[in-house]
Structure formats: structure tokens, C-alpha cells
Amino acid sequence: MVDLAAVENAFTRLATELGPVDILINNHGSFQGFGPIWDCDPLVWWRDVEINLRGTFNACRSVAPMMLARGRGRIVNLVGGGTGNSFPHGSGYASSKAAVMRLTECLNDITIGHGVRAFAVDPGLVRSAMTEMQLFSEAGKTYVPGIQKLFDDGVNIEPSRAALLIADIAAGRFDTLAGRLLRGVDDRDALAEEMDAIVAADGRALRLSDVEQAKL
């Protein structure tokens, strides 16, 4: 997904053979750079950022103009650990996911007036090939042992929760929360009831606390 020309060609072919893209789900997930930055292989660290952020950018850039031309569409960008707080031994992953959150906000601010909405979704701690690497690689066991503790404590989110949430997003249920963060652990009915209050409080957005900053 880091090859822009290949991504653009794939979406052009998809639209030609199957029809317009109504929803894009960017599920880029690379986390192989463990430890403080001076212990990480720089190329591995950067590869995490490139796959997660550049891959998301390339897909959004390829699909958004098609959606804008039709006046409708929804884009879902998956984020994760480190999006809203420090993740010192997973800084490449965290930096990329925080950047994806900001990219989602910026994209949505441009497209929402034209019928296209962007959302960030954190699926939660899901048992996957990526988390298996964190659990069983020597680097993972050394630098992120807290992942094992979370699983031991029963924090293991079913992938179906994020899938059901994204299905609701695709159906328009959470359009009020465009540009904001939704989570696999959320109670979807409760979230639907809280949407207006969340927007009024400017919640579920990437902000610096106690800093006033005008939106440009």
C-alpha cells in the first residue's frame, strides 16, 4: 500500500469492474519496532510509520476524489494503541496512529461539506498476528510485557465488535461523529445516544489540553 501508483490502479480497476466505492476501510497495521528509539532498527521503525500512515494516505487520496465526484462516501481509518497517549516502547506505531487520527480529522473537515465523511476506529486489543508477535518475540516480551498482562486480565476484544461498529458507520448511524474516534469496546446504542454531547464537548478528537488553537 505504500506504492501510490499501484494503489491508484487497484482502485480504478475496482471501480471499473465492480462499481463505485461507497466505503473505504483502511486497516493498515505494522508494529515491529519495539523498544526505545535508540534500540530500534531505524529502517524497521520507519517501515511501521510508512505502512500505517503512508498506506492510509495513499488509499484515502485514491478514493476520496471518486467519492467527492458522486457526493457521498465514508472512509474509516483504523488507529490503535498510542493514538491518544504515550507508548514509549512502540513509538513508531504510536506516532503513525496518532498521525492517522489527525489525518482523519483534516480529511473530514475538507470532505464533509460534500457528502463524504471520515472516521477513526480503534478496534481495541484484538488477538491477531501483530499481537502474537508482541507476545512471543523476544523483543516483544522484553519491551511490551504489558500486552501479555492485558490478555491475562481478560482484555481480548472480539474482532466482530469493530466489524459491527464499522457496519453501523457504513449505514450512516454515526455520521454525527465524523472526524472523531469510535472504539470497538463502545456500546453502540449508548454511543448513538451520546453523540450530540460528544460533539458539543469536542470529544474523541486529538487535542492538546489547556491550549487554545484556532482551526485554520
**Would you please indicate which residues are annotated as catalytic (active-site) residues?**
93
H/E run at residue 59 = helix 55-70
Give residue 208's identity as a one-letter amino acid code.
L
133 SS3 class? helix
88 secondary structure, DSSP code: G
How many Cβ atoms from other residues are within 10 Å of residue 104's Cβ? 29
Tell me phi and psi for residue 52, to 5 degrees.
-70, -45
Q: CA 39, CA 34: separation in Å to the nearest integer?
A: 8
40 secondary structure, DSSP code: S
User: Which of 87, 149, 148 shows the shortest CA–CA distance to 122?
Assistant: 87
Burial class (CB in 10 A: 0-12, 13-18, 19+), 197: exposed
